[in-house]
Amino acid sequence: MSLMEELKNLYRVDGQVRALRSRVDSAQRYLDAQSRELGALTDRKAELEQRRRQLQATIANYEVETKAIDERLEKLRGELNSAENNKQYTTVLSELNTAKEQRSLVEDQILAEMEQLESVGADLETLDGQIVERSKVRDVASTQLQQRQADVGERLSELEVERDAAAAAIPPSELATFDELTHIHDGEAMAVVEEISRRNREYNCGACQMQIPFEQVSLLMNDTGALICCASCHRILIMAEETRGALAKK
Ligand SMILES: [Zn+2]
């Protein structure tokens, strides 16, 4: 095989390897996305649980406060009953009313915190449902990935051996060029020469559409063994048999 034929062969096998790998890669990306979503939900749950603990602690503190006020109220009521004169009575009554107001304020606080606690509880319930659903999706994605790996695994190993053999047939510097272009153009290292006008000797790069000087087309026709690359996108140019045949007849 000529260098150009060896390269075409490598290009073909490399494309097959890439196509199979991309099937596994897309399943992997899907699984990663699901795992990230699940992670975000779990983080949110931890935050809400922390918030719930804070609210519960605040409420417990207010309840301690209420109990202290109640004890004070009880004491003041006793004092009120045993007041010995009007002045004493009025003083104790005023203290009693102040304590009652305090109690009412603390009760309002407790109610407000309770409302928040309820809302956090509802959010947590919703979140738990979402976590269950997302876990199911994640598990399906995980199974799918394993399935794909199993499906393509054997064929992929075969193709990788074939690709290595195809690459081994190509001189190191040309192979390096091919690999670099493969990397840059996401697998599209080669481009087919397109005939625009035979009469005007107009030819384009099939990938980037830039015009190719006719001298380069001639070099390709003669198959000198040197790589001819597009001046614009640098892809290795190849000629379809029909284009070559048509030009040869001329
Ligand atoms: Zn090009």
Domain that holds residue 13: 3-168
Q: How far is the CA of 172 from the centre of ligand 1 (A)?
A: 23
CA dist 242 and 222 (Å) reads 15
Q: Ligand 1 mean position to 200 CA, how many Å? A: 20
Residue 226 per-residue DSSP state: S
Based on the fold, state whether residues 179 and 160 are members of the same structural domain: no
Q: Dihedrals φ, ψ of 205, to 5°?
A: -75, 125
Of 168, 198, 232, which residue constitutes the final position of a domain? 168
Q: How far is CA 225 from CA 85, 104, 146, 222, in A?
A: 123, 96, 44, 9
What is the average pLDDT across 62-90? 95
Distance from the alpha carbon of residue 14 to the mean position of ligand 1, in angstroms: 20
Give residue 2's pLDDT band: very low, low, confident or very high (50, 70, 90).
confident
Q: Both 146 and 193 in a single domain?
A: no
Statement: residue 244 has pLDDT above 90 = no
- Please give the average per-residue pLDDT across 49-77, as a whole number: 97
pLDDT tens digits along 165-181:
999 999 999 999 999 99
Claim to verify: residue 118 and residue 213 sit in the same structural domain: no
Residue by residue, DSSP assigns 147-198 as: HHHHHHHHHHHHHHHHHHHHHHTS-HHHHHHHHHHHHHTTT--EEEEEEEET
Give residue 237 CA to ligand 1 midpoint distance, Å.
8
Among residues 118, 153, 168, the one where a domain terminates is 168
pTM of the model: 0.69
The answer to whether 139 and 38 have CB atoms below 8 angstroms apart is no
pLDDT in tens, 22-39: 999 999 999 999 999 999
